[in-house]
Amino acid sequence: MALDPATLPRHELVGLRVEVVEATDPGLVGIAGEVVRETANTLGIEPSRNGRVRQVPKEAATFRFTLEDGQRVVVEGERLVARPAERTERRGDSTWR
């Protein structure tokens, strides 16, 4: 399955550029960098300027991912809450679409 805006929530997120565009904690808004770690409930984002990984709760934020072709995709974090292996293996009539 190709990585495109419609299938992004079902793909591996590590390695993608991301920015937090909304969050219940205003201190998380604006965090941007590369996804370097993912758990069931958080994304580890490493900003390029200081190298310190910031853990952002998926459920409490909305993310804007930048795909390799430059497209930007906004995804509500609630759609990403799941173990990465389970989220990426879903097929058929998925709730991730």
* CATH number of this structure's domain 10-87: 2.30.30.210
Q: Tell me whether residue 95 is exposed, middle or buried, using C-beta atoms within 10 angstroms of its C-beta: 0 to 12, 13 to 18, 19 or more.
A: exposed
Q: Tell me whether residue 38 is exposed, middle or buried, using C-beta atoms within 10 angstroms of its C-beta: 0 to 12, 13 to 18, 19 or more.
A: middle
pTM over 0.75: yes
User: Over the stretch 19-42, which tens digit does the pLDDT of each residue have?
Assistant: 999 999 999 999 999 999 999 999
Domain ranges of the chain: 10-87
Judged by DSSP in three states, 43 sits in strand
User: Over the stretch 51-88, which tens digit does the pLDDT of each residue have?
Assistant: 789 999 999 999 999 998 999 999 999 999 988 888 77
Token digits of residue 86: 């389970």
